[in-house]
Structure 1
Amino acid sequence: MSLSDFQIDIILREYDKKRLYHKNLQDERIKEIYSKIPAIKTINEEIAKMSVLYASSKLNGKENSFEKYKKDINDLKNRKEELLNQNHYPSDYLDLTYDCDECKDSGFVDGKKCKCFKKAELELLYNYSNLKHILEKENFSNFNYDYFPKTLRNEYTGEVYDNEVSPYENIVEQIKDVKRFINEFDNKDRAISNLLIRGRAGSGKTFLTNCIAKELLDRDKSVIYLTSSDFFNLLSLATFSKDSEDGKLATRKVSEIKECDVLIIDDLGAEIPNNYTIPVLFEHINRRIFENKSTIISTNLDLNDLRNLYSERLSSRFLQNYAIIHIYGEDLRTIC
Structure 2
Amino acid sequence: MMTDYKEIVDKIKRNYTLKQEIQEEKRINYERALYQKHNKLEQLENEKRKLKNQYTIQGDLEENQKLIDKIKNISEEKEKYAKENNIILEFTPSYNCEICKDTGKVKGAYINGVFDMRGERPCVCYKQRIYKEAYGSYNVIDSKENLNHFDMKHLDENKSLEMARIIKAVREYIIHFNEPEKTNRNICFLGITGAGKTKMCKCICRGLYEKGITSFLATFSSITNTITTNIAQKKYDDNKRLLEVLTNVDFLVIDDLGAENVTEAKTEKLLNILEEREKYNKVTAFTSNLDFDEIKKVYGERIKSRLKQNAIICNMDFADYREKNITIVK
**Both proteins in one fold, TM over 0.5:** yes
Partners in 2 of 1:300 and 1:222 — Cα distance? Answer: 26
Q: Deviations over 1:242-283 (max 9, x none)?
A: 733xx5444323322221100111100111110210111011
Aligned length: 252
Q: Secondary structure at the match of 2:264?
A: coil
2:140 aligned partner: 132
Structure 1 unaligned regions, length at least 5 = 1-5, 27-46, 75-96, 151-165, 332-336
The SS at the match of 1:197 is strand
Offset of 1:99 from its aligned partner? 7.3
Cα contact 1:98–1:105 (8 A) shared by 2: no
Could you tell me which residue of structure 2 aligns to residue 123 of structure 1?
125
Is 1:143 paired with 2:150?
yes
Distance 1:109 1:286 in 2: 32
Which residue of the partner structure matches residue 176 of structure 2? 184
Which is greater in Rg?
1
Larger fraction in strand: 2
CA distance in 2, matches of 1:219, 1:178: 15
Uncovered stretches (5+) of structure 2, i.e. residues with no partner: 1-7, 29-49, 72-90, 95-99, 109-115, 132-136, 321-330
Aligned to 1:195: 187
Alpha-carbon offset, residue 294 of structure 1: 1.0
1:155 is matched with none
* SS of the residue 1:306 aligns to: helix
Quick check: 1:329 aligned with 2:318?
yes
Specify which structure has the bigger relative contact order, considering alpha-carbon pairs within 8 angstroms and separated by 6 or more residues. 1
**Residue 195 to residue 242, structure 1, CA distance change in 2 (3 Å):** farther
- Normalised to the residue count of structure 2, the TM-score between the two structures is 0.60
Distance 1:15 1:330, change over 3 A: same
**Other-structure match for 1:228:** 220
Residue of 270, 290, 293 corresponding to 1:301? 290
State the match for 1:219 in structure 2: 211
Deviation at 1:228, TM superposition (A): 1.6
Q: What RMSD over aligned residues (CA atoms) do the two structures have, in Å?
A: 4.7
% of aligned pairs identical? Answer: 23
Q: Is the 8 A contact 1:149 1:330 kept in 2?
A: no
1:70-149 equivalences under 5 Å are 121-127=123-129, 128=131, 129-132=137-140, 135-136=143-144, 138-149=145-156
Q: Which amino acid aligns with 2:161?
A: E
Q: 1:16 to 1:305 in 2, by over 3 A?
A: same
Query: If the length of structure 1 is used for normalisation, what is the TM-score?
Result: 0.59
User: 2:64, 2:264 → 1: CA distance?
Assistant: 81
C-alpha distance in 1 between matches for 2:139 and 2:294? 28
